[in-house]
C-alpha cells in the first residue's frame, strides 16, 4: 500500500483560481518526499487537500488508503502537520500545549508527558518548556509546532516550510530529526520547501510543481538524467590543450562540461600528453538547485 497517493488531483478555488492541476503522484512508506516549487505554485493547497482542509474539485487523494474527504478524522489520527502559521495556545506553556494536543488524540497526560519531554529535549526547547507560549520566539514556536505534530506518533508527516523561520543550527537539527524519523521509525514525510540545499540533504525523492502542475518527479539521479545530464569537470593544471575547449576560470583553473564520467580519463591523458601538470581534478554533478532552475526556466520557454 502506498503511504500517500494523489490521483488526478485538482483544486479550483471559489473565484476561479486553479491552484492544483491534475497531479498524480505516490509516496512509499519511509520516503522523505521534497515537494518543491516557487511561491504560489500550489504546495500548501496540496497539503490542505491531503488533510481534508480543502475538498478537491477533481480527482482524489489518500493517506494509507484513507480518503480525507470522507474520513478526515482517520487521516488526522495517523498524520502530523506543520504549517506556516501553527495555532497553539499562548496562555499555556510549551509542555502544557503538547499534553493538551495529545489529549485530543485520546492520549492521557501520564502517557504523553514522557514523549512530550523527550520531543522538547530533541528540539532544544527543554529550558523553555515551562514558559508560556506567548514568550516564545518565532523559531521556538515553529519547533514546538513540529513537536505537536509528532506527539501522537503519526505515520505520515506533512511539513509546509518547517524550517523557514529557523536559524541555520536549528534548521539543521530539525532536518536531521526528520531524516531519522523516516529512517528509524519509517515515517513518511511530505516536505514542502524552498530551501533546496536542505532538501537535497534530506529528501529521497522530489516533485517539482509550478503553476499547479507537477513538472517532474524522481530521485536526484533520475532528475539529473531527465533534466540536466551534464557533469562539470574542474581541473587545476599548468596548461590544457586548446582543442579541448576548456573555460579558464582562474589562475591554472579550468572547467569543461562533459556528458559522462567515462570522458574523464581521456581528457586527463590528453593534458598530460601535451605536457600539462595536473594538481587537482573534480567532477561536479548538477545540484537540486541547478535542476530546479533549469526546469523552471525550461517550463517558461515551453509556455512562450
**Please, which residue, 20 or 128, has the CB nearer to Mg ion?**
20
With CB under 5 to 8 Å by kind, the binding choice for 163 among ligand ATP, Mg ion, none is: none
Interface residues toward Mg ion, by CB under 5 A:
43-44
Give whichever of 15 and 106 is closer to ligand ATP, judged by the CB atom. Answer: 15
Phi, psi dihedral angles at 211 (to 5 degrees) = 50, 45
Where along the sequence are the contacts to ligand ATP (CB under 6 A)?
A: 13, 15, 17, 19, 37, 39-45
Cell of 120: 522538547
Q: Rounded to the nearest whole angstrom, what is the least distance from the CB of residue 159 to ligand ATP in the complex?
A: 12
Residue 15 touches which member of ligand ATP, Mg ion, none, C-beta under 5-8 Å by kind:
ligand ATP
State the first-to-last Cα distance of the chain, in angstroms, to the nearest integer: 40
CB of 258 to ligand ATP, least distance (A): 35
In angstroms, the CA 74 to CA 70 distance is: 9
Rounded to a whole number of angstroms, the minimum distance from the CB of residue 151 to ligand ATP is 25
The residues that bridge with 160 in the sheet, in sequence order, are: 192
Measured from the CB atom, the residue of 41 and 215 that comes closer to ligand ATP is: 41
13: partner contacted, choices Mg ion, ligand ATP, none (Cβ within 5-8 A by kind): ligand ATP
Instruction: Give the one entry of Mg ion, ligand ATP, none that residue 83 binds, where binding means its C-beta sits below a cut-off of 5 to 8 angstroms depending on kind.
Output: none
Nearer to ligand ATP, 64 or 293 (CB): 293
Residue 163 is classified by DSSP as T
Q: Report what 39 binds from ligand ATP, Mg ion, none; CB cut-off 5-8 Å by kind.
A: ligand ATP
Q: Which residue number, 31 or 210, has a Cβ lying nearer to ligand ATP?
A: 210
Amino acid at each position: 500500500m502506498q503511504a500517500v497517493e494523489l490521483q488526478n488531483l485538482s483544486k479550483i478555488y471559489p473565484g476561479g483560481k486553479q491552484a492544483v492541476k491534475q497531479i498524480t503522484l505516490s509516496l512509499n512508506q519511509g520516503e522523505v518526499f521534497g515537494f518543491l516549487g516557487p511561491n504560489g505554485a500550489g504546495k500548501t493547497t496540496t497539503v490542505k487537500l491531503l488533510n481534508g482542509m480543502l475538498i478537491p474539485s477533481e480527482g482524489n487523494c489518500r493517506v494509507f488508503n484513507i480518503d480525507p474527504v470522507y474520513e478526515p478524522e482517520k487521516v488526522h489520527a495517523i498524520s502530523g502537520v506543520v504549517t506556516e502559521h501553527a495555532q497553539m495556545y499562548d496562555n499555556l506553556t510549551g509542555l502544557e500545549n503538547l499534553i493538551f494536543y495529545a489529549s485530543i488524540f485520546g492520549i492521557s497526560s501520564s502517557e504523553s508527558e514522557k514523549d512530550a519531554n523527550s520531543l522538547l529535549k530533541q528540539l532544544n526547547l527543554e529550558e523553555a518548556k515551562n514558559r508560556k507560549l506567548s514568550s516564545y520566539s518565532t523559531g521556538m514556536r515553529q519547533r514546538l509546532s513540529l513537536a505537536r505534530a509528532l506527539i501522537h506518533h503519526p505515520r505520515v508527516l506533512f511539513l509546509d516550510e518547517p524550517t523557514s523561520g529557523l536559524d541555520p543550527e536549528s534548521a539543521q537539527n530539525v532536518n536531521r530529526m526528520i531524516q531519522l524519523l523516516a529512517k528509524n521509525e519509517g515515517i513518511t514525510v511530505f516536505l514542502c520547501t524552498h530551501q533546496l540545499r536542505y532538501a537535497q540533504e534530506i529528501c529521497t525523492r522530489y516533485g517539482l510543481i509550478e503553476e499547479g502542475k507537477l513538472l517532474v518527479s524522481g530521485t536526484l539521479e533520475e532528475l539529473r538524467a531527465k533534466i540536466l545530464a551534464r557533469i562539470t569537470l574542474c581541473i587545476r593544471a599548468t596548461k590544457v590543450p586548446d582543442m579541448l575547449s576548456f573555460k579558464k576560470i582562474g589562475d591554472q583553473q579550468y572547467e569543461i562540461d562533459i556528458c559522462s564520467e567515462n570522458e574523464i580519463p581521456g581528457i586527463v591523458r590528453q593534458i598530460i600528453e601535451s605536457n600539462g601538470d595536473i594538481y587537482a581534478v573534480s567532477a561536479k554533478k548538477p545540484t537540486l538547485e541547478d535542476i530546479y532552475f533549469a526546469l523552471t526556466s525550461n517550463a517558461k520557454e515551453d509556455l512562450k
